[in-house]
């Protein structure tokens, strides 16, 4: 049955059905957002992407109960004149399209800059010219390194929150030098944020900027050699999943000392739905979306994933479950890293009353159960073929 029309926003007003142009809808976040919008709302989605594998169950073909609710538009926003028409027909545009895997930042710096800045320009322009609302996906990487990271490692001030907690309206953006091309991504994202902010200030664009802090869960990226290139390097969740599925050691880059906070994709999607449906509270805002309670070093993440995967698969641990690799070996020249990422949650809490719920252990259990179920057989087949030939 269709969801009831009587859903209310945070101020108690009925939510009117929206038409949403979602660019990058076929990606990790887009696929979860499409599912959520189809399951719990009456909104209509134009799903724009160059591929649709992750939303095939929703669009190819759309199941009968979703007829008229979601359509897939295969187009590259770099060079397709249909984009403006779709934005004009929609009430709201959500832009998720980006190159956003660290392995690309220093090896494909031009594509990274074009994708995250140049290709987003027409989207911002069409929204501004046609008075359409825009929710743009930026990144927590715009904060770069923490202030505390420049202090000696045993300095007591490193423990003070003002030296590491990342605040939307106060923290500086601290990037490394130009030769460290890792920061080209962060810099491109920062400039598009500034441009959107300026469109708001000078031309009245209604915008919301989202800064995701390591959202993870099922369907993130790809497993190399199964549903992505064998030599491809996805983000850490998929790298470690791939290692566990193949029973090879997890690779810790530069000792795995960097710290991250991981949030479950389904918690984060709740925050995005609140932004979509509460424009008066979300317009003009930049929101951190993360889980400050789920902080680990990359080494701790590797240990936890190894333990959880052992329980899920019933496979015994390896003698050597982890190995160290240098960032140069793993990513190549020009790699650098964010040291620590704790999101301040004051603004999203105040505006939208949102808080993350799922502890890291629980989200890893759900996610690794999915990885095992989805990929284990394919990997077994592939490995036995390789050993036979
Ligand atoms: P993703 O790579 O899974 O999704 C991006 C989608 O955009 C892909 O499906 C891709 O095909 C599509 N796309 C890219 N260029 C396109 C183009 N020119 N035309 C049409 N489609 C195009 O990544 P994701 O994790 O879903 O991230 C979505 C957004 O959130 C990105 O802007 C990313 O920078 C941001 N973000 C995500 C995270 C996270 O934790 N997942 C963290 C920080 C920032
Ligand atoms: N990393 C790692 N081993 C891997 C993949 C990633 O040690 O196989 C590290 C990487 O160097 C970084 C962290 O894990 O410190 C998170 O990387 P990810 O690609 O998920 O994205 P980031 O959070 O840096 O944007």
Output the DSSP codes for 163-178. Answer: GTEE-TTT---B---T
Q: Residue 84 in contact with residue 126, Cβ under 8 Å?
A: yes
What pLDDT sits at residue 6?
A: 82
What pLDDT sits at residue 4?
A: 52
SS3 per-residue string spanning 77-118: CCCCCHHHHHHHHCCEEEECCCCCCHHHHCCCHHHHHHHHCH
What pLDDT sits at residue 265?
A: 99
What pLDDT sits at residue 3?
A: 52
**By CB neighbour count within 10 A (0-12 exposed, 13-18 middle, 19+ buried), where does 378 fall?**
middle
What pLDDT sits at residue 99?
A: 97
What pLDDT sits at residue 5?
A: 56
Q: Is 126 annotated in the active site?
A: no
Q: Is the CB of 258 under 6 A from ligand 2?
A: yes
Alpha carbon of 238 to ligand 2 centroid (Å): 10
Instruction: With H, G, I as helix, E, B as strand and everything else as coil, classify residue 352.
Output: helix
**pLDDT tens digits, one per residue of 368-385:** 999 999 999 999 998 888
Of 209, 212, 291, 338, the residue with max ligand 1 atoms within 8 A of its CB, to mutate for a pocket test, comes to 212
Q: Is the CB of 26 under 6 A from ligand 2?
A: no
Write the CB contacts of 384 (distance below 8 Å, at least 6 apart in sequence): none
Write out residues in the chain with pLDDT < 70, as ranges: 1-5
Show the domains of the chain with their CATH numbers.
98-379 (3.40.50.720)
**In terms of Cα–Cα distance, which of 190, 210, 338 is closest to 273?**
210
Q: Is the CB of 251 under 6 A from ligand 2?
A: yes
Residue nearest to atom 19 of ligand 1 (CA): 76
What's the rounded Cα separation, in Å, for the pair 22 and 26? 9
Q: Which ligand is nearest to the CA of 233?
A: 2
Q: Residue 99 in contact with residue 116, Cβ under 8 Å?
A: yes
Residue 30 CA, closest ligand 1 atom number: 26
Q: Which one of 143, 164, 185, 331 is the catalytic residue?
A: 185
What pLDDT sits at residue 250?
A: 98
What pLDDT sits at residue 2?
A: 53
Rounded to the nearest angstrom, the gap between the alpha carbon of residue 383 and the centroid of all alpha carbons in its chain is 30
In this structure, the strands spanning 342-343 and 165-166 are parallel
Of 139, 215, 253, the residue with max ligand 2 atoms within 8 A of its CB, to mutate for a pocket test, comes to 253
């Amino acid at each position: 049955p269709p969801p009831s029309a009587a859903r209310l926003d945070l101020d108690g007003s009925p939510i009117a059905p929206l038409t949403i142009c979602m660019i990058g809808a076929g990606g990790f976040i887009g696929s979860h957002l499409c599912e959520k919008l189809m399951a719990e709302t009456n909104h209509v989605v134009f799903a724009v992407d160059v591929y649709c594998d992750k939303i095939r169950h929703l669009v190819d073909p759309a199941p009968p109960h979703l007829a008229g609710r979601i359509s897939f538009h295969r187009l590259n926003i770099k060079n397709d004149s249909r984009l403006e028409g779709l934005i004009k027909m929609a009430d709201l545009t959500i832009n998720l399209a980006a190159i956003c895997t660290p392995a690309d930042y220093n090896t494909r710096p031009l594509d990274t800059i074009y994708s995250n800045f140049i290709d987003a320009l027409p989207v911002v322009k069409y929204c501004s010219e046609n008075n359409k609302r825009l929710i743009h996906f930026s990144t927590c990487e715009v904060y770069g390194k923490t202030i505390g990271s420049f202090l000696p490692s045993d300095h007591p001030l490193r423990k003070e929150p003002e030296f590491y907690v990342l605040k939307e309206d106060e923290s500086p953006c601290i990037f490394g030098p130009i030769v460290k091309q890792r920061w080209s991504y962060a810099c491109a994202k920062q400039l598009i944020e500034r441009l959107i902010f300026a469109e708001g200030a000078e031309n009245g664009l209604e915008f919301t900027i989202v800064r995701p802090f390591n959202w993870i869960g099922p369907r993130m990226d790809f497993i190399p050699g199964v549903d992505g290139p064998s030599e491809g390097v996805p983000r850490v969740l998929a790298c470690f999943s791939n290692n566990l599925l193949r029973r090879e050691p997890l690779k810790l880059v530069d000792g795995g000392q960097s710290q991250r906070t991981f949030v479950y994709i389904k918690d984060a999607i709740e925050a995005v739905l609140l932004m979509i449906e509460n424009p008066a509270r979300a317009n003009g805002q930049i929101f951190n979306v993360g889980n400050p309670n789920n902080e680990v070093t990359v080494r701790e993440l590797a240990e936890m994933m190894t333990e959880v995967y052992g329980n899920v698969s019933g496979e015994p641990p390896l003698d050597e479950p982890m190995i160290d690799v240098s960032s140069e070996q793993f990513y190549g020249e020009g790699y650098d890293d964010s040291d620590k990422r704790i999101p301040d949650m004051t603004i999203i809490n105040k505006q939208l009353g949102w808080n993350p719920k799922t502890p890291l252990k629980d989200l890893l259990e759900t996610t690794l159960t999915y990885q095992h179920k989805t990929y284990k057989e394919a990997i077994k087949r592939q490995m036995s073929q390789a050993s036979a030939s």
